[in-house]
Structures are given as C-alpha cells and as structure tokens.
Chains A and B, each alone.
Chain A
Amino acid sequence: MAGTWIAAICTLGLMSFVIKDSPLYRLAEYTFLAVGTAYSFVLSLERLNPVIITPIKQGKYTIFIPVALGLLLYSRFFRGKQWLMGFPISVTIGVGLGLSLKGIVSSEIVKQLSDTYTSIGSLEGVLIFVGVICVILFFYFSRSNTGANPPVLAVARKIGRVFLMIAFGCMFSNVILSRMTLLLGRIKFLLGDWLNII
C-alpha cells in the first residue's frame, strides 16, 4: 500500500515537469536515481561470491589478476598514485575494442553487405540495394574542386534523401509508439493500482 502511494506520488511528480520544473519533480528524479544506484550496488556485492570467492575456493587463483586490476581503479583516491588507474582502463578499452572489431567486421559489415547483394533477385532486394548505394552516396562529401560533379551523383543523392526520409519517418513513428506505451503504463498504474477506477 505504502509502495503504491510512493510510486504514485513519484509518477505525478515526474509528470508535473510538463507544466514546469518543481521540487516534487526533483524529489521524484533523485529518488529514482538513488534507488537505481543502491540496487546496482547491492547486486554488485551479491555477485562477489559467484564471480570471485567461488573461483578462489576452487583453486582458480588467476582470478586475482582481474581483481587486482579492478582495485587499481581506486588509486584515484590516493594523491600521487592516480597514474596506476591507467592500467585497468587501458586493459578494459583494449579488450572492448578487440572484441567489438572482431564481431563488427563479420556480423555488421560482411554479413550485411553480402545479404545486400545476394537478395537482389526480388523487388525488395533491389529496393534495399538501391537504397544502400544511394544513401552511402548521399554521405559522400568529397566533391570536385572544379565544380564538375557527375550528374549521376546528384540523382543518387536525391534518391538517397528519399530513402533517408522514409527511414526517419519509420523511426519517428516507433518512437511515438514507444513513448505512448510508457505513458499508457503510468496512466494504467494511476487509474488501476492506485485509484482502483479500472
């Protein structure tokens, strides 16, 4: 019961922002941030057991390497030792980049490109192929200094713009759908769980 009331007050507080910024809005915003941070913190502590303590009990002492790297992040709190923080950050960025490059090349470049030309036998495939080429040409900004650009480039850019507008229209409609769903959820909560009207 108390939880429903708190949630209802926070919902109304957040909604009040459409009228103007208010202390109730600030309270709801900070409450949300505080609860989210506290939940993440507790979850992090709970994961210490399966991720660190259990492997150590099993004799997997290599876990000390990532643990030590993680602890080095706290070196920023010690004057003169902040440079130690560079090690875990560089390892994290290096691993992240390495993983991303490996995955992106095969899944998002090679597979997407190969599908673009292999599905060219159908009308849908032709449209996708033309759309991809024209949109890529739309973002080709290196023009000739003499001003002599091939007319095909101008036509491709115009077609590319049409494809882009259609894509943006689809994205916009989905954004509206998603935002309406969020509002719907809150109104249903207020009318149903809180006021028991529906």
Chain B
Amino acid sequence: MKYLINIDHRIIYILVIISITLPLIAPLNLPVDASEEVTKIYQKIDSLMPGDTVLLLISYAAQNEVEMKSQSDSVISHLFSKEGIKIVSAALVESGNIYLNQYMSSYASEYQKEAGRDFVNLGFVYGGEVAVANLANDIHQAAPADSDGNLLADLEMMKNIKDGSDFDLVINFGATQLWSIVRYITDVYNVDLVSGIEAVFAIRFLPYYVSGQLDGYLNGLVGAAGYESLIGIRGPASKHMDPLSSSSMLIIVLIIVGNISYLVEKRQKFSDRSAR
C-alpha cells in the first residue's frame, strides 16, 4: 500500500498517455448522445428563419483548439447551412481571429455565402469587456469597418443592424467574454444566447443556464460530440470520445485506488498505535 501512495508520478503520466494512445490507434467507436443543453442549441439554430440575424463571437484562445474548434466547426456549419440568415461575426481575443477568418472563408465557399450580403466579418474587436459593451451599444462605432476594410455604413446588410437589439440569436465560443455578453447584450436586449464553453469553465456557467440567461451550452469536447450526433456526422469530437473515455476511466480507477490505499494505511497506523 505504501508503494501505491508513493508511486512515481511519471508512471501515472505514462499510463495516461497509453490510455489515450491505444484508443486512437484502435478505435472502440463508443456511442455518442446529445444532452438536453446541446439539443437546445441545435433547436435554436434549426428554428432560425430567413432574414433572422445572428451575432457570432469567438472568444477562445489557441490552447483550447481541440475542444473549441470541434464545437465551432459543427455549430457554424449547421448555421451556414440555413438559408437567408444574416451573420455578423467578430473575434474577442487575438488568436480567436485566426479561427474566425478560417471559418468565414471555408464555410462561405462551401455554402456559397457572400461577404457583405450574407455575412460580415468584423475581425478582432479590441477591448475585452469594453468592446462587448460597445458592440452592444453601436456596432458601427465599435467596428467602423470589416476585416477587409469595407466600411460598415456602405454594406447593405448592415443598414438595419445597429446594436444588440437587432439580433435574434447570439452564438459565442469560449468562456473568456461570456460574462460580458450576458451583461451587455443578451440580458439588456433580451436576446437568446447559446455558447460553446471550455470544459474547465462549464460548471461556472451552469447557474446562467438554470436561470435562463443562457439558452444552451456545449461542455467541451463532450458537448461537441453531442452536437455532431445531432447533425448526423461522426466528426473529430465523436472520434475523440474513445480516448477521452478511457483516460477518464483510468483517472477514476486511480482515485479509487489512491483513496483505498490512504484508508488502509490510516487504519494500519491506528492499529499500530493502539498495539503500543
């Protein structure tokens, strides 16, 4: 038991790496289901009608690419497949701009959407919380031109989109500015909000979901896999569920073993003391 308590941490790292690597080489194809909060996002996007406007925000950084890109890919692909939707997009963190440009260019060509008519990419909007407040109050002032340098005032699509009240749905990816979006856009203008959230932050936003301030959310890679199941694809997130499940099982086993070892050693110490 003493050995188990004092086990070299490098052995645990190796076990974790093996538990992730094996299912990647030999996939188990475990079934994936969508939870209630994931289904609500799907329903919100699916119920959008031609002419509806959507504010799409990216506020995650490069280090969370694995979980957040899987989420964004499936949700934005579903969004672009809807006919007649007007999308205004912006990145709220620097590296989010890289992903935003990728999504806008690749899905625009895949679904034959035209910049300035079907969507406007504002690029990276500086200022964090202040930037979100500015976008909510006056988009034309917060970002006078799109990422290509075209003035918003000259774009036909932006003539009737001035502030937060002109949106039917806000879709956000990343927890960094989610608080600000709730405070300055969706609560103030009573707009629906759905969000993809990094698993590490998901629990913090549960009160917002329960209170109805957040209409649906994707919890890390698990949420992304659930969304993939709803749109009928077995994408990267679904494939990642095998290694994620096996590594989680390993952690559960290690926690149980660690606790049993601790309790056994505690009992031994107690019996040794009483024997003396």
A111/B211 in contact, CB under 8 A: yes
B149/A39 in contact, CB under 8 A: no
Nearest Cβ distance between residue A103 and chain B, in whole angstroms?
A: 3
Is the CB of A123 closer than 8 A to any CB of chain B?
A: no
Residue on A nearest B12 in the bound complex, by CB: A18
Is the CB of B41 closer than 8 A to any CB of chain A?
A: no
- Chain B residues whose C-beta falls within 8 Å of the C-beta of A185 in the assembled complex: 65-66
Candidates A49, A99, A175, A177; contact of B133 at CB < 8 Å: A99
Is the CB of B244 closer than 8 A to any CB of chain A?
A: yes
Is the CB of A197 closer than 8 A to any CB of chain B?
A: yes
Residue in A49, A106, A182 with the greatest tally of chain B CB atoms within 10 Å? A182
- Chain A residues whose C-beta falls within 8 Å of the C-beta of B187 in the assembled complex: 103, 106-107, 111
Is the CB of B20 closer than 8 A to any CB of chain A?
A: yes
Question: Contact flags (1/0) for B105-146 with A, using CB distance below 8 Å?
Answer: 000000000000000000110100110010000000001111
Question: Contact flags (1/0) for B148-159 with A, using CB distance below 8 Å?
Answer: 010100000000
Is the CB of A196 closer than 8 A to any CB of chain B?
A: no
- Using A51-B144, A107-B183 as known contacts, say yes or no to A181 and B149 having CB atoms under 8 A apart: no
For the complex, give the distance between the alpha carbons of A95 and B13 in Å. 46
Nearest Cβ distance between residue A65 and chain B, in whole angstroms?
A: 14
Candidates A49, A96, A177, A191; contact of B130 at CB < 8 Å: A96
B202/A174 in contact, CB under 8 A: yes
Is the CB of B273 closer than 8 A to any CB of chain A?
A: no
- Chain A residues whose C-beta falls within 8 Å of the C-beta of B95 in the assembled complex: 36, 39
Is the CB of B210 closer than 8 A to any CB of chain A?
A: yes
The A-contacting residues of B in range 173-190, CB under 8 angstroms, are: 179-180, 182-184, 187
For the complex, give the distance between the alpha carbons of A107 and B183 in Å. 6
Residue on B nearest A167 in the bound complex, by CB: B203
Question: Contact flags (1/0) for A163-198 with B, using CB distance below 8 Å?
Answer: 000010011001111111111110110010000011
Candidates A19, A106, A180, A181; contact of B10 at CB < 8 Å: A19
A128/B210 in contact, CB under 8 A: yes
Candidates A43, A167, A174, A180; contact of B20 at CB < 8 Å: A180
Is the CB of B31 closer than 8 A to any CB of chain A?
A: no
- Chain B residues whose C-beta falls within 8 Å of the C-beta of A39 in the assembled complex: 94-95
B67/A178 in contact, CB under 8 A: yes
A103/B184 in contact, CB under 8 A: yes
- Chain A residues whose C-beta falls within 8 Å of the C-beta of B207 in the assembled complex: 112
- Using A177-B220, A182-B66 as known contacts, say yes or no to A103 and B199 having CB atoms under 8 A apart: no
Residue pairs across A and B with Cβ atoms less than 8 A apart, 5 shown, are: A50-B143, A103-B180, A108-B183, A112-B207, A183-B247
By Cβ-Cβ distance, the 9 closest A-B pairs, closest first, are A103-B183, A185-B66, A115-B211, A178-B200, A50-B145, A178-B199, A177-B199, A107-B183, A107-B187
B-to-A contact residues, CB < 8 Å: 9-10, 13, 16-17, 20-21, 24-25, 63-67, 94-95, 97, 123-124, 126, 129-130, 133, 143-146, 149, 151, 179-180, 182-184, 187, 198-204, 207, 210-213, 219-222, 240, 243-244, 247-248, 251
**Additional A-B contacts beyond A18-B10, A96-B130, A171-B203 (18; CB < 8 A):** A39-B94, A44-B126, A99-B184, A100-B183, A102-B183, A103-B180, A103-B182, A104-B183, A107-B187, A108-B183, A111-B187, A115-B211, A167-B203, A177-B221, A177-B248, A181-B66, A184-B20, A184-B221
